[in-house]
Amino acid sequence: MKEIEYLRPSYDFIDDGADDLMLVMDACEGTADDENAQFIYDGKSEAMLIRNSGQIVYLPIVVEPVHEKLTDGRTILLVTEMDGDDIDDVYEAQLTVTNEPLPIPQEVKTRGAWRPNK
């Protein structure tokens, strides 16, 4: 079974004023699964992006204006990964609002990025 690597890059949400919401974050090592990426929001304050089968990006803070956008019935979120000022990758992620706590290990929540010991 493949171990999951949890990432905590810098990120922000951008609303373009035309009712579109974009997650902009620092580029991560490895390749995103552009076809199967999933953005999961707990419906309250935190989210995670399943970037590929071995990487989950933990997003510990979702502010109220973003909460409203994520719970307005949209099903897709645009993700933009940045390498400095350059766009590294852009893809869509399927959006799911669970209204349940996310399955994020406590080590990730308290210490940041985490890779299981081999």
R_g over Cα of the chain: 14
Give one DSSP letter per residue of 66-111, joined into a string.
HHHHHTSS--EEEEEEEETTEEEEEEEEEEEE-SS-----HHHHHH
Domains of the chain: total: 1
Structure confidence at residue 74 (pLDDT): 84
pLDDT, tens digit, for every residue of 66-83? 998 999 888 999 999 999
13 has pLDDT over 90: yes
For residue 24, the one-letter residue type is: V
Instruction: Report yes or no: 42 and 34 within 8 Å, Cβ to Cβ.
Output: no
Write out pLDDT tens, residues 34-62: 999 999 999 999 999 999 999 999 999 99
pTM (whole model) above 0.95: no
Q: Does residue 117 form part of some domain?
A: no
Boundaries of domain holding 95: 5-111
Query: How far apart are alpha carbons 95 and 113 in whole angstroms?
Result: 22
Does 42 fall in a domain?
yes
The answer to whether position 9 is within a domain reads yes
Question: Does any domain span residue 118?
Answer: no
Q: Hey, is 46 helix, strand or coil? A: coil
